[in-house]
Structure 1
Amino acid sequence: MKTAVGMRPFSLLSRSAGAAFLTPAGLLIGAFVIAPFFWVIYVSFTNRTLLGRTALNPEFIGLANYVSLFDAASFFTRGEFGFSLILTIQFVLLSALAGQAALGMLLAWMLQTVPKTLKSLTEMVVIAAWILPEVVIAFAWFAFLDYDNGTLNMIMEGLGLPKGDWLLSFPFWVIVVFNTWRGTAFSMMLFNSAFSSIPPSYFQAADVAGATSWQKFRDIGLPLIRGHVVTDLILITMWTFNVFTPFLLTNGGPSYRTEILPIYTYRVAFRDFEFGKGAAVGVIVMLINLVFALFYLWVTRRRARGVAA
């Protein structure tokens, strides 16, 4: 490329070109991620609300919002922060760790022994379920569990069994099963790829030695995919901790029995209009997510060093 005398040639690989391409993305991130992040932190130290005097002129109240969230007198009361935090921990343990991870690994291991055609068909169905919008999935489950015209109750009646009001009688277990069903696809695909990367000769040698499927899983499969297991557990824990989709099924009820932290934050900030208190909850959730993210980065770097060594 010809250039004027005394001018440097422009290259797409130069630092100036890279800065020019990154500037629009940096401005967008600054406007829609970084600025709101610091704004939420600031609001968490005020009594800002949507209505009333503090809507236009919020007052700085220091740590009052955080103190109210951790008030020992009401910490375990339904509808309060402590109850939602404990409920969220139970939700994560049951639906993410005991549900998605365990069921995803079981399905992935079973796929290693089925014919290739059936394996490909199963993978296609799982991916299709994974990419469906969450609103569509939630509506399908609501139609499935509806008391009057739900598919499940129609099946129960056809079998001569009494109908159940699942969303009223067992709301927490409904969202646990729903989130497990929704998220198992990711774990299954990740573990399926991990198992497929193991050399077949390892399992063939185990077959010659007369090893059972459990022995092959315990002594060969699981030890060789430990890094993938840690990655899966961290990611699904973060996703489940922040999931909002159960709101579409139960609206956080009945009587706050399914009000996990994302739903609690939404209620406080956008229904009760206590922006300051809602921002304080958001800051706490961000700190918890930061711990998960730092742990994930630490594990990733440790794995990278182990591979390099």
Structure 2
Amino acid sequence: MKNFSLLSARAGALFFSPAAALVGAFVIVPFFWVIFVSFTNRTLLGKTALNPEFVGFDNYIALFNMSTFFTRGQFGFSLILTIQFVLLSALVGQALLGMVLAWLLQSTPKYVKVFSESAVIVAWILPEVVIGFAWFAFLDYDNGTLNMLVTSLGLEPGDWLLENPFWVIVFFNTWRGAAFSMMLFNSAFSSIPPSYFQAADVAGATSFQKFKDIALPLIKGHVVTDLILITMWTFNVFTPFLLTNGGPSYRTELLSIYTYRVAFKDFEFGKGAAVGVVIMLINLAFALVYLRIAKQKNKGTA
């Protein structure tokens, strides 16, 4: 029996080793390589491309230089812009809209529910490039669908990507990401025993009361999971680059776009790696906060 257990352990390790090798090669090694590069002045061109010098915390000090921190095109401006983007498009937009849509679908006929889910999920499964150019065509000033609709109502057309670029990417990301939240919460609501809602109906509870007192407390774990995932995805999303290229005048240069510009346009790999490390730490902080909140709520209900 002991030999069989040893054989099973060896077989498990053998099957696990290819996945472990891939994770090590494409996740762990790049992770530590980025941290190392962030302490150097490595660039794409010049002598520091082959022989970078160790500069310590110079790249981090440059990022948090308060004299330029809030200037457009600098790290601080992109950080604040990204935080606003996450709050509006992920927490308020995707999570809230996805939850509301999922709750409304619970009381609709089955064919309406299936059609709505199919229509919404298209925004999630289509490639980002396709979605980006579709929205670009939708918002085009001269021949865009939105301006055609606005003009047909007797209103003045707008140059949306130039006049309101930030709100464009907020609505764009909300529209695209709400599908995931809707499907997750739809599954969560469907897992609640129908008898709970039937008893509430007998007691004369309204739809909002059933949502607040029955559904929401039972799906807290799903809410935390959704918030963790969409926060991290939104914080690192690059798709708005297809609409605005980070402009005009850096007004939509999120951290992901700022990192791309610094590392692959300005060729400052060391500084770009420092931004990447800061982003990883922020993502880790988000995850720890959400997990701590979930743990406290679980203790409170235990």
Tell me which of 221, 242, 260 is aligned to 1:227: 221
> One-letter code of the match for 1:247?
F
Change (3 A) 1:301 1:12: farther
Counterpart-to-counterpart distance in 2, 1:214 and 1:19: 51
Q: Deviations over 1:118-176 (max 9, x none)?
A: 11221222223321111111111111001111110111121221111000000000000
Counterparts of residues 212-251 of structure 1 (less than 5 Å): 212-251=206-245
Count of residue pairs the alignment pairs up? 301
Higher Cα radius of gyration: 1
How many angstroms does 1:303 deviate by? 8.1
CA offsets per residue over residues 218-277 of structure 1, 9 Å max, x none? 222222222211221121111111111100110000000000100000000000001110
For residues 306 and 222 of structure 1, the distance between their equivalents in structure 2, rounded to whole angstroms, comes to: 15
TM superposition score normalised by structure 2: 0.93
Question: Relative to structure 1, is the Cα distance of residues 13 and 93 closer, same or farther in structure 2, using a 3 angstrom cutoff?
Answer: farther
Match of 1:5 in 2: none
Q: 1:252 aligns with which of 242, 246, 256?
A: 246
Using the TM superposition, give the Cα deviation of residue 289 of structure 1 relative to its aligned residue in structure 2, in angstroms.
1.7
2:161 — aligned with what?
A: 167
Q: CA deviation at 1:19?
A: 1.9
Moved over 4 A (4+): 8-13, 295-307
CA distance in 1, matches of 2:195, 2:274: 55
Work out the CA distance in 2 between the residues paired with 1:120 and 1:207. Answer: 25
Q: Does 1:58 align with 2:52?
A: yes
The answer on whether the counterparts of 2:220 and 2:294 sit within 8 Å (CA) in structure 1 is: no
Q: Does 1:207 align with 2:179?
A: no
Tell me whether 1:69 sits opposite 2:60 in the alignment. Answer: no
Alignment pair present for 1:182 and 2:176: yes
Task: State the distance in 2 between where 1:281 and 1:41 align.
Answer: 10
Distance 1:17 1:198 in 2: 40
Tell me, what secondary structure is at the counterpart of 1:14?
helix
TM alignment of 1:87-166, pairs within 5 A: 87-166=81-160
* Shift in alpha-carbon separation, 1:265–1:148, aligned structure 2, 3 A: same
The answer as to 2:263 corresponding to 1:269 is yes
Q: Which residue pairs with 1:78 in the alignment?
A: 72
Letter in 2 for 1:23: S
Q: Which runs of 5+ in 1 are unaligned?
A: 1-7
- Structure 2: stretches of 5+ with no match in the other structure: none
Normalised by the size of structure 1, how large is the TM-score? 0.91
Instruction: Choose between structure 1 and 2: higher helix proportion.
Output: 2
Higher deviation after alignment, 190-199 or 87-96: 190-199
Paired with 2:211 and 2:288, the residues of 1 have a C-alpha distance of: 30
3-state SS, counterpart of residue 231 of structure 2: helix
**Partner AA of 2:278 in structure 1:** I
